[in-house]
Structure 1
Amino acid sequence: MTTTSAQPDDDAYEIDTDPDRIDLDAVHHWLSTDAFWALGRSRDLVERALRGSLNFGVYDRQGTQVAYARVITDHATFAWLCDVYVDPAHRGRGLGIRLATAVRDHLAPYELNRTLLATLDAHELYAKVGFAPVPDPTMLMMLGPAT
């Protein structure tokens, strides 16, 4: 399924959910070498995560992947947006907002109860597409390393 997010003057990029189109080598490189939350992540782990997720790739006019996001979801009640990454050469063009908007719009028909994400430094970006702080974070718990 292709999700395009073209605006009248912004057709330089295409957003697509086809997992076979994802450039696994690029995504692994970005996450394992530049994304603070995934530094050192193995290629096998990136591939397994990709295969078990709803993936969003952003492609330039030449078809080269320039950004990525994945969503873990049951398509009924819950989703987790993660591994959002824009190649440094394409930052500053609104791709992060377009990508988050495409995710939001793609998930809307499912009428999920919750879509969560974790961010260290992009609160303002995600707020622009409707994300808000968790009203009572003391309700959330986790199993695993607290990093």
Structure 2
Amino acid sequence: MSGHGLLDPAVEREHAVTAVLLSVLAPGLGHLYLRAWLRALAWGTVTVALAVGLLPEPMVSAVTTGSSQAVVDALRSGAGWAPVVLAALMVRLVGAFDAWLTVRRRSHGDLRARCPACSRPLDEDLEFCANCLYEPDE
């Protein structure tokens, strides 16, 4: 069961780069790649909450009317979009940094063996993962 605790530096770098790029693409996506399910859910929730909370009034009224032309007009007006764009940029950058930290924490912070299926620490006394019931072929 040993060998799952530390990542090879090349593999760690590959995981970090992939997770960061996915998080920049969509907050939480890098965490899904890393199988950090709760963090992915949290970043997705933050993204949706900020998007809904910061939508400019013309866009909200355009969406509630259901008119596609009203939505296009609200997008073209450009009024009030600066906070939305700034918040989206910040969420992407902080989420990408958190994905990078998640990789670093996993490879350096916890030296216990980890399950290859769910990435959680393995109990050395058990022949299977107590979290996901994965049984390694040894």
- With the shorter chain as reference, the TM-score category is under 0.3
Larger relative contact order (CA 8 Å, sep ≥ 6): 2
Higher percent of residues as strand:
1
What TM-score, normalized to structure 1? 0.22
Q: Which has the higher helix share?
A: 2
